[in-house]
Amino acid sequence: MELPGFWMDVGQPKDFLTGMGLYLNWIKHKHPTQLVSGDAYTGPVLIHPSAKIGDNCKIGPNVTIGPNCVIESGVRLVNTTVLEGSTIRENSWIKNSIVGWQCTIGRWVRMENVSVLAEDVFVEDELYLNGGRVLPHKTISQSIPEPAIIM
């Protein structure tokens, strides 16, 4: 049986982000009206209509933002997925990361290097997450300077 489209193993966070970028580029060529455009957006960006985006944000390329998310003013997102119900507070910088459902990321937080937050994670203000993998229902009150799993 032949399946139309493409397939990719996305079982690891890095592979998920790669697959998301490929999918967004496919949408860009096949269904470009589904993507957002404007001065704040670079490259393919998919935002659910119920999401709220603040002023002076820079979003993209390869970003998806799910339903009922709040992205406050001055946030920078690159190659990142933000799942349903999450809030990213002012002036945070997130690259190559996955933000799980119902998470809150504080002000001036920097996340990079395939950081992954599971469901209902709270990251306090002014922290740095470098490749942190955080399990559900946690509060992060200290920076994670080296890749680590937070249980």
CA dist., res. 140 & res. 47, Å (int): 26
Q: For a pLDDT cut of 70, what percent of the chain falls above it?
A: 96
- Name the phi and psi angles at 89, rounded to 5: -75, 175
The mean per-residue pLDDT over the stretch 109-138 comes to: 98
Confidence of residue 59 (pLDDT cuts 50, 70, 90): very high
Helices of type H across the chain = 13-30
Residue-level pLDDT at 84: 98
Contact 86, 102 (CB under 8 A): yes
What is the pTM (predicted TM-score) of this model? 0.95
Residue-level pLDDT at 52: 98
Confidence of residue 63 (pLDDT cuts 50, 70, 90): very high
